[in-house]
Amino acid sequence: MAKHDTDLSLLFHALADPTRRSMLTKLAETPVSVTDLAGPTGLRLPTVMRHLSVLEEAGLITTAKDGRVRTCAIVPEALVPARTWLDEQRALWEAQLNRLDAFVMQAMKGREE
């Protein structure tokens, strides 16, 4: 039975949207105000706030308010569960492909004899 981690689901949901991935790319450089994040998207502020809410719920960003300015910062360690899951999946698929390769090579060797 597959293991369903709620945090992992939230993480992949947050990463599924190109606008949110673009925001994370920008935040990887430096913390940025919400207004500065909204500018390049062409989206209205309430829409940007919903995207940021999804990122924050997944633990990918933190926000802090200083006066009227809300600043967002990335939380890089939040990607560790996704990386771990992907590494596990990669190991499983590589093992399956290695077994398939061995089977095909054995079958080809059997035909030659």
Nearest partner of 8 among 74, 69, 73, 60, judged by Cα: 60
pLDDT tens, residue order, the chain (113 aa): 345 566 899 999 999 999 999 999 999 999 999 999 999 899 999 999 999 999 999 999 999 999 999 999 999 999 999 999 999 999 999 999 999 999 999 988 888 77
Burial class (CB in 10 A: 0-12, 13-18, 19+), 41: middle
User: What is this structure's pTM?
Assistant: 0.79
CB neighbours (10 Å) of residue 16?
Answer: 10
- Report the CATH fold assignment for 3-112: Arc Repressor Mutant, subunit A (1.10.10)
Amino acid at 76: P
Strand partners, 32: 72
Q: What is the pLDDT of residue 37?
A: 93
